Protein backbone atom coordinates (compact mmCIF):
# COMPACT_ATOMS: atom_id res chain seq x y z
CA UNK A 1 0.00 0.00 0.00
CA UNK A 2 1.26 3.46 -0.91
CA UNK A 3 1.48 6.23 1.70
CA UNK A 4 0.60 9.79 0.78
CA UNK A 5 0.70 12.63 3.30
CA UNK A 6 -2.47 14.72 3.40
CA UNK A 7 -1.20 18.24 3.98
CA UNK A 8 0.03 21.40 2.25
CA UNK A 9 2.48 22.14 5.09
CA UNK A 10 5.99 22.09 3.59
CA UNK A 11 7.71 21.27 6.90
CA UNK A 12 5.48 18.23 7.41
CA UNK A 13 5.97 17.13 3.80
CA UNK A 14 9.77 17.40 4.26
CA UNK A 15 9.50 15.44 7.50
CA UNK A 16 7.42 12.70 5.84
CA UNK A 17 9.81 12.55 2.87
CA UNK A 18 12.80 12.24 5.22
CA UNK A 19 11.18 9.19 6.84
CA UNK A 20 11.77 7.41 3.53
CA UNK A 21 8.35 5.81 3.11
CA UNK A 22 6.47 8.59 1.35
CA UNK A 23 4.87 7.90 -2.04
CA UNK A 24 3.07 11.20 -2.64
CA UNK A 25 1.07 14.14 -1.34
CA UNK A 26 -2.58 15.15 -1.43
CA UNK A 27 -3.81 18.68 -0.85
CA UNK A 28 -7.20 20.34 -0.97
CA UNK A 29 -8.38 23.98 -0.83
CA UNK A 30 -8.87 23.79 2.95
CA UNK A 31 -5.33 22.51 3.51
CA UNK A 32 -3.87 25.16 1.16
CA UNK A 33 -5.84 27.97 2.83
CA UNK A 34 -4.65 26.74 6.24
CA UNK A 35 -1.06 27.40 5.09
CA UNK A 36 -2.00 30.96 4.08
CA UNK A 37 -1.59 30.28 0.34
CA UNK A 38 -3.51 33.03 -1.46
CA UNK A 39 -3.68 34.06 -5.10
CA UNK A 40 -2.85 32.33 -8.39
CA UNK A 41 0.94 32.81 -8.33
CA UNK A 42 1.28 31.70 -4.71
CA UNK A 43 -0.81 28.58 -5.40
CA UNK A 44 1.33 27.63 -8.41
CA UNK A 45 4.56 28.25 -6.49
CA UNK A 46 3.36 26.12 -3.59
CA UNK A 47 2.60 23.14 -5.82
CA UNK A 48 6.04 23.50 -7.43
CA UNK A 49 7.65 23.61 -3.97
CA UNK A 50 5.83 20.40 -3.00
CA UNK A 51 6.93 18.68 -6.23
CA UNK A 52 10.54 19.67 -5.45
CA UNK A 53 10.35 17.91 -2.08
CA UNK A 54 8.70 14.59 -3.01
CA UNK A 55 9.22 12.06 -5.78
CA UNK A 56 5.64 10.79 -6.18
CA UNK A 57 2.23 12.06 -7.23
CA UNK A 58 1.01 15.42 -5.89
CA UNK A 59 -2.74 16.03 -5.99
CA UNK A 60 -3.68 19.64 -6.77
CA UNK A 61 -7.39 20.43 -6.61
CA UNK A 62 -9.27 22.61 -9.10
CA UNK A 63 -11.15 25.52 -7.56
CA UNK A 64 -13.84 25.80 -10.21
CA UNK A 65 -17.08 23.84 -9.86
CA UNK A 66 -17.96 24.22 -13.56
CA UNK A 67 -16.75 21.86 -16.31
CA UNK A 68 -15.06 24.52 -18.46
CA UNK A 69 -13.24 26.00 -15.49
CA UNK A 70 -12.18 22.57 -14.24
CA UNK A 71 -10.57 21.52 -17.51
CA UNK A 72 -8.86 24.91 -17.95
CA UNK A 73 -7.42 24.76 -14.43
CA UNK A 74 -6.65 21.06 -14.79
CA UNK A 75 -4.60 21.56 -17.94
CA UNK A 76 -2.70 24.45 -16.35
CA UNK A 77 -1.96 22.44 -13.19
CA UNK A 78 -0.90 19.35 -15.13
CA UNK A 79 1.49 21.42 -17.26
CA UNK A 80 3.32 22.59 -14.12
CA UNK A 81 5.03 19.31 -13.35
CA UNK A 82 4.80 15.64 -14.33
CA UNK A 83 4.02 14.71 -10.70
CA UNK A 84 0.82 16.77 -10.60
CA UNK A 85 -2.46 14.84 -10.39
CA UNK A 86 -5.54 16.99 -11.02
CA UNK A 87 -8.08 16.61 -8.23
CA UNK A 88 -11.73 17.15 -9.15
CA UNK A 89 -14.91 16.62 -7.13
CA UNK A 90 -17.27 13.69 -7.77
CA UNK A 91 -19.95 15.80 -9.42
CA UNK A 92 -21.47 15.65 -12.90
CA UNK A 93 -19.05 18.36 -14.10
CA UNK A 94 -16.21 16.60 -12.30
CA UNK A 95 -16.84 13.24 -13.99
CA UNK A 96 -16.95 14.96 -17.38
CA UNK A 97 -13.67 16.71 -16.53
CA UNK A 98 -12.07 13.38 -15.51
CA UNK A 99 -13.08 11.94 -18.89
CA UNK A 100 -11.64 14.94 -20.75
CA UNK A 101 -8.38 15.08 -18.77
CA UNK A 102 -7.87 11.30 -19.02
CA UNK A 103 -8.18 11.53 -22.81
CA UNK A 104 -5.40 14.15 -22.65
CA UNK A 105 -3.29 11.67 -20.63
CA UNK A 106 -3.54 13.84 -17.51
CA UNK A 107 -3.71 11.99 -14.19
CA UNK A 108 -6.80 12.66 -12.06
CA UNK A 109 -7.95 12.11 -8.50
CA UNK A 110 -11.74 12.13 -8.10
CA UNK A 111 -12.38 13.50 -4.62
CA UNK A 112 -15.28 13.89 -2.17
CA UNK A 113 -16.37 10.30 -2.89
CA UNK A 114 -18.94 9.05 -0.38
CA UNK A 115 -20.60 6.20 -2.32
CA UNK A 116 -19.78 3.20 -4.51
CA UNK A 117 -21.82 4.79 -7.31
CA UNK A 118 -19.62 7.89 -7.38
CA UNK A 119 -16.50 5.67 -7.43
CA UNK A 120 -17.97 3.61 -10.29
CA UNK A 121 -18.59 6.68 -12.47
CA UNK A 122 -15.12 8.06 -11.71
CA UNK A 123 -13.53 4.73 -12.68
CA UNK A 124 -15.58 4.50 -15.87
CA UNK A 125 -14.43 8.03 -16.77
CA UNK A 126 -10.82 6.81 -16.34
CA UNK A 127 -9.78 8.41 -13.04
CA UNK A 128 -6.27 7.50 -11.88
CA UNK A 129 -7.48 7.61 -8.25
CA UNK A 130 -10.78 7.82 -6.40
CA UNK A 131 -10.75 9.32 -2.91
CA UNK A 132 -13.44 7.99 -0.56
CA UNK A 133 -13.49 10.01 2.69
CA UNK A 134 -13.41 7.51 5.57
CA UNK A 135 -13.34 9.88 8.54
CA UNK A 136 -16.18 12.10 7.36
CA UNK A 137 -18.38 9.01 6.85
CA UNK A 138 -17.47 7.71 10.31
CA UNK A 139 -18.35 11.17 11.70
CA UNK A 140 -21.83 10.61 10.29
CA UNK A 141 -22.32 7.10 11.69
CA UNK A 142 -21.57 5.44 8.34
CA UNK A 143 -18.80 2.82 8.16
CA UNK A 144 -16.07 4.45 6.04
CA UNK A 145 -13.89 1.34 5.86
CA UNK A 146 -16.86 -0.69 4.57
CA UNK A 147 -17.06 1.74 1.64
CA UNK A 148 -13.33 1.28 0.91
CA UNK A 149 -13.85 -2.50 0.89
CA UNK A 150 -16.89 -2.23 -1.39
CA UNK A 151 -14.99 -0.08 -3.91
CA UNK A 152 -11.87 -2.29 -3.81
CA UNK A 153 -14.05 -5.36 -4.51
CA UNK A 154 -15.89 -3.59 -7.33
CA UNK A 155 -12.67 -2.44 -9.02
CA UNK A 156 -11.10 -5.91 -8.68
CA UNK A 157 -14.23 -7.63 -10.04
CA UNK A 158 -14.33 -5.43 -13.14
CA UNK A 159 -10.55 -5.00 -13.53
CA UNK A 160 -10.70 -1.21 -13.28
CA UNK A 161 -7.21 0.30 -13.18
CA UNK A 162 -8.39 3.19 -10.97
CA UNK A 163 -6.63 3.12 -7.61
CA UNK A 164 -8.54 3.41 -4.34
CA UNK A 165 -7.01 6.27 -2.37
CA UNK A 166 -8.44 6.17 1.15
CA UNK A 167 -8.75 9.78 2.35
CA UNK A 168 -9.97 11.60 5.44
CA UNK A 169 -7.92 9.23 7.58
CA UNK A 170 -7.94 10.28 11.22
CA UNK A 171 -5.81 7.71 13.06
CA UNK A 172 -3.56 4.68 12.84
CA UNK A 173 -6.40 2.15 13.10
CA UNK A 174 -7.86 3.56 9.87
CA UNK A 175 -4.51 2.85 8.17
CA UNK A 176 -4.42 -0.75 9.41
CA UNK A 177 -8.06 -1.26 8.34
CA UNK A 178 -7.19 0.12 4.88
CA UNK A 179 -4.43 -2.49 4.62
CA UNK A 180 -6.88 -5.22 5.63
CA UNK A 181 -9.37 -4.34 2.88
CA UNK A 182 -6.73 -3.75 0.19
CA UNK A 183 -6.78 0.01 -0.41
CA UNK A 184 -4.11 0.98 -2.96
CA UNK A 185 -3.17 4.22 -1.17
CA UNK A 186 -3.79 5.79 2.22
CA UNK A 187 -3.41 9.55 2.44
CA UNK A 188 -2.84 10.45 6.06
CA UNK A 189 -1.91 13.24 8.40
CA UNK A 190 1.79 12.87 9.33
CA UNK A 191 0.69 12.19 12.93
CA UNK A 192 -1.20 9.06 11.83
CA UNK A 193 1.82 7.74 9.88
CA UNK A 194 4.13 8.39 12.83
CA UNK A 195 1.51 6.88 15.13
CA UNK A 196 2.18 3.49 13.51
CA UNK A 197 5.52 3.47 15.32
CA UNK A 198 4.05 3.96 18.77
CA UNK A 199 4.23 1.00 21.13
CA UNK A 200 4.91 1.15 24.88
CA UNK A 201 6.83 -2.15 24.77
CA UNK A 202 9.22 -0.62 22.20
CA UNK A 203 9.79 2.37 24.51
CA UNK A 204 10.25 0.15 27.60
CA UNK A 205 12.49 -2.28 25.70
CA UNK A 206 14.66 0.51 24.28
CA UNK A 207 15.04 2.17 27.69
CA UNK A 208 16.26 -1.15 29.09
CA UNK A 209 18.68 -1.69 26.19
CA UNK A 210 20.08 1.84 26.65
CA UNK A 211 20.51 1.18 30.39
CA UNK A 212 22.19 -2.19 29.80
CA UNK A 213 24.40 -0.80 27.06
CA UNK A 214 26.07 1.39 29.73
CA UNK A 215 27.26 -1.82 31.41
CA UNK A 216 29.01 -2.73 28.14
CA UNK A 217 31.03 0.49 27.89
Q: Which residues bind ligand G3P (CB under 6 A)?
A: 6, 26, 28, 133, 135-136, 167-168, 187
SS3 letters across the chain: CEEEEECCCHHHHHHHHHHCCCCEEECCHHHHHHCCCCCHHHHHHHHHHHHHHCCCEEEEECCCCCHHHHHHHHHHHHHHCCCEEEEEECCHHHHHHHHHHHHCCCCEEEEEECCHHHHHHHHHCCCCEEEEEHHHHHHCCCCHHHHHHHHHHHHHHHCCCCEEEEECCCCHHHHHHHHHHCCCEEEECHHHHHHCCCCHHHHHHHHHHHHHHHHCC
Q: In the complex with ligand G3P, which residue's Cβ is closer, 26 or 74? A: 26
Q: In the complex with ligand G3P, which residue's Cβ is closer, 139 or 203? A: 139
Q: In the complex with ligand G3P, which residue's Cβ is closer, 32 or 93? A: 32
Q: At its nearest, how many Å lie between ligand G3P and the CB of residue 44?
A: 19
Q: At its nearest, how many Å lie between ligand G3P and the CB of residue 127?
A: 15
Rounded CA gap, 199 and 50, in Å?
A: 31
Q: At its nearest, how many Å lie between ligand G3P and the CB of residue 26?
A: 5
Strand pairing category for 129-132 and 163-166:
parallel
Q: At its nearest, how many Å lie between ligand G3P and the CB of residue 120?
A: 20
Q: Which of 34, 87, 92, 105 is catalytic?
A: 87
87 an active-site residue?
A: yes
Q: In the complex with ligand G3P, which residue's Cβ is closer, 69 or 135? A: 135
Tell me the catalytic residues. Answer: 87
Amino acid sequence: MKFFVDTANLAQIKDAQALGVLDGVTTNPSLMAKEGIKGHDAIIKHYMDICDIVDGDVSAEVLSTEYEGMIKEGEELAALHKQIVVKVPATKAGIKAVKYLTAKKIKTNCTLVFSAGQALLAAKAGATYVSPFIGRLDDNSVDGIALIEQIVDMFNYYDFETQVLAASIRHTMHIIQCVEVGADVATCPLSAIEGLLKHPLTDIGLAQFVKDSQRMA
